[in-house]
Structure 1
Amino acid sequence: MEELPSGPAGGGKKELGGGPRPEDLPEDKRCRIIDAAVAEFAERGYELASTNAITARAGVSKGLLFHYFGRKKDLYLYLVRHVVDRYTERFFKDLPELDPDVIERVFQIALHKQRLLLEEPQVNKFLIRAFQEIPEEVRPEITSLQAELGDRSEHILTDGVDVSRFRRGIDPRKAVILVTVCLEGLQELFKERLTPDLAECPEEVARMLGELREYLDILKYGLYEREEGGGPTDGSRLPEGEGRGC
């Protein structure tokens, strides 16, 4: 079996500065604050979320919250990093053996993400808000984290791919690049449907997976029947002007 060479996993966790840290709190109290804050930010978003509501939910004083977590911005960034690290750890821990077929692997990973999405709707609602509705106040930090996550997961799509399955004469690296570019385009296509409420709508998630399967099958099996001379087998063409750019 021919394989593409492996790439580095990357990643790493940033440490907070000096002074009191959330980790200095008793675990039960820290978990109450984290759960309360995730719920508040998930339901109301960054701008409308209230630290008063968070402390009330968690049953702690506002002074304690600020002492260990800092300002609202500091709390939010801590939560995003905490939830992302927890999600990433679970994603890789529960990830099944990856299919050597790169197209099937894309769908396999999508199914795995679906399971995680539906198992913890509140947490995933928080993450979708964090990355789809990026508050201006924290945009640089969130954008940096997005890039880090991309580097950390880039190897998943290519490590161990069986390039001997590609049609004879196809450059394996170009084939994988094509799959990657198409996947980025599909992510952009589905972007508007990745709303915070998606985790609470399993029917919509299933519809999106069905559409993804259709697009992947087109990519896997091609658009045209292969015949002598090439071109569409029935001589059909798009109507005049359709499918053209400006």
Structure 2
Amino acid sequence: MEDKRAKILDVAVEEFASHGYKAASTNRICEVAGVSKGLIFHYFGSKEKLYTAAVTYSVDLVMEEVSMDDMPRGNFVEGAIWSTKQKLAFSHRHPAVFKLMMQSFANPPEALAERMTAYFKEMMAVQTVFVNQMLDGLTLRADVAREDASDVIQSLFEYITRLVTVYLQKNPDATMEDMQPLIDKFMRMIVIAERGMVEQKQT
């Protein structure tokens, strides 16, 4: 039975990613998954809950395949580049999963907007773990407090998240490659945060 539930989720991800929440059809999901509508509602209860489960499934897949345990330590820029490359590779392996995640993040269904916002807010806690892991591998200047460094990096993540959200709202079918200019901008800002922006005068 778990195989059927997994099959329903796989098909639901494709359906929601291709057609959006409102136009997605549970009848099509039934047909492609080879199950009855009754079985879908037995597992998930409603279209809303199926959508939420599909998004959760997508995020869990990212967390499973992009492990922060393999991230290089000791250089924040290298770590950020590594993370971006991993997400890019993931988007190629699972285009529908990536698309659904981006849609649900930037353009959640009106009926589920509050729930999706709360869910992704929880997921942003992973970002804090990433920042702290990177800071653990760095030697900060004696006059830089770790808390202040963490706040600066977190602010950069929040800023780029807002830019990506606006971009996806205007370009709902954007791919990871389409967002490369924003990624490049983020990388340049990370370099500034790590190395400073003012040329030090030689004394």
User: Match of 2:163?
Assistant: 189
User: Among 112, 126, 138, which residue is 2:112 paired with?
Assistant: 138
User: Among 72, 93, 108, which residue is 1:98 paired with?
Assistant: 72
Is the contact between residue 101 and residue 162 of structure 1 (CA under 8 Å) also seen in structure 2?
no
Letter in 2 for 1:40: E
**CA distances 1:126-153 after superposition (whole Å, capped 9, x unpaired):** 1111111111212232222112212244
Is the partner of 2:201 in helix, strand or coil? Answer: coil
Q: Which runs of 5+ in 1 are unaligned?
A: 1-24, 229-246
Is 1:198 equivalent to 2:174 in the alignment?
yes
CA–CA distance in structure 2, aligned partners of residues 100 and 86 of structure 1: 27
User: Match of 2:102?
Assistant: 128
Is the contact between residue 156 and residue 189 of structure 2 (CA under 8 Å) also seen in structure 1?
no
Percent pairwise identity: 28
CA–CA distance in structure 2, aligned partners of residues 206 and 71 of structure 1: 37
Task: Classify 1:214/1:102 alpha carbon distance in 2 versus 1 (closer, same or farther; 3 Å).
Answer: closer
Rg (Cα) greater in structure: 1
Task: Classify 1:122/1:196 alpha carbon distance in 2 versus 1 (closer, same or farther; 3 Å).
Answer: farther
Q: Which has the higher helix share?
A: 2
Is 1:114 equivalent to 2:88 in the alignment?
yes
Task: Classify 1:206/1:150 alpha carbon distance in 2 versus 1 (closer, same or farther; 3 Å).
Answer: closer
Task: Classify 1:84/1:51 alpha carbon distance in 2 versus 1 (closer, same or farther; 3 Å).
Answer: same
Is the contact between residue 15 and residue 25 of structure 2 (CA under 8 Å) also seen in structure 1?
yes
Alignment of 1:168-187 (within 5 A): 168-187=142-161
Q: Which runs of 5+ in 2 are unaligned?
A: none
Alpha-carbon RMSD across the aligned residues, in angstroms, is: 2.5
CA–CA distance in structure 1, aligned partners of residues 2 and 141 of structure 2: 58
Is the contact between residue 98 and residue 105 of structure 1 (CA under 8 Å) also seen in structure 2?
yes
Aligned residue pairs, count = 200
CA drift at 1:187: 2.1
TM-score, normalised via structure 1 length: 0.70
CA–CA distance in structure 1, aligned partners of residues 70 and 79 of structure 2: 10
Is the partner of 2:190 in helix, strand or coil? Answer: helix
Is the contact between residue 17 and residue 99 of structure 2 (CA under 8 Å) also seen in structure 1?
yes
CA drift at 1:31: 3.1
User: Among 163, 167, 188, which residue is 2:141 paired with?
Assistant: 167
CA drift at 1:169: 2.2
TM-score, normalised via structure 2 length: 0.83
Letter in 2 for 1:130: S
- Of 115-124 and 216-225, the range deviating more from structure 2: 216-225
Is 1:50 equivalent to 2:14 in the alignment?
no
CA–CA distance in structure 2, aligned partners of residues 134 and 58 of structure 1: 24
Task: Classify 1:150/1:210 alpha carbon distance in 2 versus 1 (closer, same or farther; 3 Å).
Answer: closer
CA–CA distance in structure 2, aligned partners of residues 189 and 147 of structure 1: 16
Is the contact between residue 42 and residue 125 of structure 1 (CA under 8 Å) also seen in structure 2?
yes
Letter in 1 for 2:80: V
- Of 176-185 and 143-152, the range deviating more from structure 2: 143-152
Is the contact between residue 103 and residue 179 of structure 1 (CA under 8 Å) also seen in structure 2?
no
CA drift at 1:207: 3.8
CA–CA distance in structure 2, aligned partners of residues 215 and 108 of structure 1: 16
Task: Tell me: higher relative CO, structure 1 or 2? Use CA pairs within 8 A at least 6 residues apart.
Answer: 1
**CA distances 1:164-212 after superposition (whole Å, capped 9, x unpaired):** 633342223212211221221122223333454333x63x244443333
User: Among 139, 150, 155, which residue is 2:129 paired with?
Assistant: 155
Letter in 1 for 2:153: V
